[in-house]
Amino acid sequence: MRRAIVYSLLVVFSIGCLVPIVWLVVSAFKANADFQAYAFVPPVDRLTMANFPSLFKQMPFLRFMVNSFFVAGATVIVQLFFSSLGGFALAKYEFAGKKAIMGVMLATMMIPGPVLLAPMYELIYHLRLIDSHLGLIVPGMVNVFGMFLFRQSMLSVPDEMLQAARMDGCNEFQIFWHVVMPVSRPIVGAFCLIAFMGTWNSFLWPQIILQSSDRFTLPIGLNQMVGVYEADYGAMMAGTLLAVLPVVMLFFLLQKEFIAGLTKGAVKG
């Protein structure tokens, strides 16, 4: 009896979570005319693929997609390299100034992002990077949270393994590259997913920086389209569905690592 209550609660909430997503998928295949007639699911024979060609015809959707992939990919790679190397140094070496560096980084994590918008705009303006992809990537190189994630995880790599690598002829960078990074594979996966999702969904900064539509990323591009083609609901949902797919696929690829990485800082920190 009690179990039945537990399960029904869980199922009710599951439905709440899933219905909007299912509705998104259905709407992506729904003819514009049917939005009024069938609020939920139209008969299967009325579903259509027409929204997708319409989407590509109305706007440079592919262009947006490529831009998003380029910006997110570049940002994740640079962040990964900088954060993992820095996290390794903070986890496995003792050196003068270490505490100070960690303290300053932690303190800046407390400052909300919007504080940086104005000075960052000024900086990017002076670097002549307004309306460029570099203007999105460069300010995103620093991921303090990511660095602490790596530090936390690399603390648990045994010192003896690093010493063994040193005895086996590694220099310090080779230790990082051949031993520490491969051992940290789960956290690398989690980091990549978190960083990718962050950049992929980034809106405010690109909205400020980007001006030309051929440089738009997906969030900016799709949002602009809403203004212009307000009535084409089907194409809008098709675009949203396609925009979400890469994150979903990456998540399925890395989900084990992701959950572990997400909760690592919280539970242990």
Partner 1 sequence: MQMRNARTAPYLFLAPFVISFLIFGAYPIVRSMILSLYITSGPEAQHFVGLDNYLYLLRDPDFWTAFSNTATFAAGSVALQLPLSLGLAILLNRPDVRGRDVFRFIFFSPNLMGLVFSALLFMLILAPRFGLLNASLHALFGLPLTTRWLSTPELVMPALIMVALWLYTGFNMVYFLAALQSVDGELYEAATIDGAGRWSQFWHVTLPGIKPVLIFVVVLSTIGSFQLFELAFLLLGNSSGPDQAGLTIVMYLYQNGFLGGDLGYAAAIGWTLAGMVLILSLIQLRITGTGKEDR
Partner 2 sequence: MADIAFRGVNKIYPNGFQAVHNLDLAIKDGEFLVMVGPSGCGKSTTLRMLAGLEAISSGDLLIDGKRVNDLHPRTRNIAMVFQSYALYPHKTVQGNIEFPLRMAKVPAAEVKARALKVARMLELEPLLQRKPGLLSGGQRQRVAMARALVRDPVAFLMDEPLSNLDAKLRVQMRAEIAALQRRTGTTTVYVTHDQVEAMTMGDRVAVFKDGHLQQADTPQQLFERPLNTFVGSFIGSPSMNLITSRIEPGGDGLTLTLAGERIALGRGLEARFEDPGGAAGLVAQVGLRPEDVVDPHLAGEGQRLHGRVVLTELLGREQMVYLDLHDSTRVVARLHADHRLHAGEEVAIGIDPARLYLFRADGNALSYR
Which partner from the list partner 2, partner 1, none does 206 bind, CB cut-off 5 to 8 Å by kind? Answer: none
Residue for token pair 């009896």:
1
Q: What is the DSSP string of 152-180?
A: HHHTTS-HHHHHHHHHTT--HHHIIIIII
Identify residues 9-68 at the interface with partner 1 (CB under 8 A): 9-10, 13-14, 16-21, 23-24, 27, 35-36, 39-40
Identify residues 88-147 at the interface with partner 2 (CB under 8 A): none
158 contacts partner 2 (rule: CB under 8 A)? yes
Q: Which of these segments, 80-88, 179-187, 215-223, 231-239, binds partner 2 (CB under 8 A)?
A: 179-187
Which residue stretches of 93-217 are H helix? Answer: 98-109, 117-126, 134-137, 144-154, 159-167, 172-174, 181-183, 185-200, 204-209
Instruction: Decide whether 47 or 105 has the Cβ nearer to partner 1.
Output: 105
Q: How many CB atoms lie within 10 A of CB 49?
A: 10
Helix (H, G, I), strand (E, B) or coil at 70: helix
260 contacts partner 2 (rule: CB under 8 A)? no
Q: Least Å distance between CB 25 and partner 2?
A: 38
The answer to whether the CB of 147 falls within 8 A of the CB of 86 is: yes
168 contacts partner 2 (rule: CB under 8 A)? yes
Q: Least Å distance between CB 139 and partner 1?
A: 5
* Interface contacts to partner 2, rule CB under 8 A: 158, 160-161, 163-171, 174, 178-179, 182-183, 185
